[in-house]
Amino acid sequence: MDKNIGEQLNKAYEAYRQACMDRDHAVKELQQKTETYMQQTREQQEKIELQNSIIAKLKSQLAALNANR
């Protein structure tokens, strides 16, 4: 009987240990994906700002051309 309880405890501990490892892996993966997403978001925001700057310059040039006509 004692051997059976010991085996059950070992199995329960191993299941708990595996669940903790799975959780830690999932947390790490989520952190990595979040960091990647944040970096991509920053890069896209920089591109948007650059495009908005180009658009503003082009609008200014167009307005100057239209004023000269």
Kindly state the helix (H) or strand (E) to which residue 8 belongs, with its residue range. helix 2-68
Count how many Cα atoms sit within 13 Å of the Cα of residue 17 in the half-sphere of its side chain.
6
What pLDDT shows up at residue 3? 76
- pLDDT tens-digit profile of 12-44? 999 999 999 999 999 999 999 999 999 999 999
- Cα dihedral 51, 57, 59, 62, rounded to 10, equals -140
Mean pLDDT score across all residues of the chain: 95
